[in-house]
Amino acid sequence: MAFDAYGAPQFGLNDVKIAVWNSTDSYGSAVDIPSVQLMGAILQIISAQLEGDDTITATAARAIGGEVRIRFGSVNIAALEVLLGNTATSSIASPNEVYQLKVSGGDNMPYFGIVGRALAEEGVGDFQVFFPKVRITSDVTLASLEYGTFAVPEFTAQAVEDTTYGILSLVEHQAATAIAIPPANIV
């Protein structure tokens, strides 16, 4: 069976990047999510049904938001700066320079954009999922430091609608394209 889509069938997860959402159509510099293992993308729906005359007479369903789940390898200060909205400080004492990211009670989680890419298994295209405006809304597993195991941070974020890009954009490219926030050539 041949696949008609450029970015299909998707296999694996090739790359994920995030960037601070400054305002509609404006983002900070893209930051790589290191050793990304998972990007779960969910479109959230609200629905109802009208019942009467001993039957369902109508249904309604509307897209209301999205949810993104990310799991990646290595505690990465640059990525956590974007996700948590704090700026790391560093000492200038060489050769043991220290980077510190401090999170305090009451810190407000920022909005950020996120895009993930899977390469097509057939052909040379790709498939990208872009959430333009998301915010962490659950506990963040920063690390489980354990003998014989890598630290694997994980978080879930809530997507809300951006006036330009909507809740999310699904993008296929005929030829695999580098990740950008927002993805290149989308409207």
Q: What are the mean pLDDT values of the chain's consecutive 10-residue runs (187 residues total)?
A: 72 96 91 96 97 97 97 92 91 80 92 96 92 96 89 96 95 93 89
Tokens coding 67: 């949810």
Q: From CA 114, how far away is CA 180, in angstroms rounded? A: 9
Residue 161 in any domain: the answer is yes
Inter-CA distances, 96 with 67, 74, 81, 101, Å: 39, 20, 21, 16
Residue 46 in any domain: the answer is yes
Report the C-alpha dihedral over residues 112, 183, 12, 75, rounded to 10 degrees.
-30
Domain that holds residue 98: 10-173
Q: From CA 16, how far away is CA 32, in angstroms rounded? A: 6
Res 89: pLDDT: 86
Residue 3 in any domain: the answer is no
User: Which CATH number characterizes residue 58's domain?
Assistant: 2.30.110
Question: Which pTM value belongs to this model?
Answer: 0.91
Res 3: pLDDT: 65
Residue 185 in any domain: the answer is no
DSSP per-residue codes, 125-143? -EEEEEEEEEEE-S--B--
Domain count of the chain? 1
Name the phi and psi angles at 147, rounded to 5: -55, 130
> How many residues appear in the chain?
187
Q: From CA 74, how far away is CA 33, in angstroms rounded? A: 9
Residue 1 in any domain: the answer is no
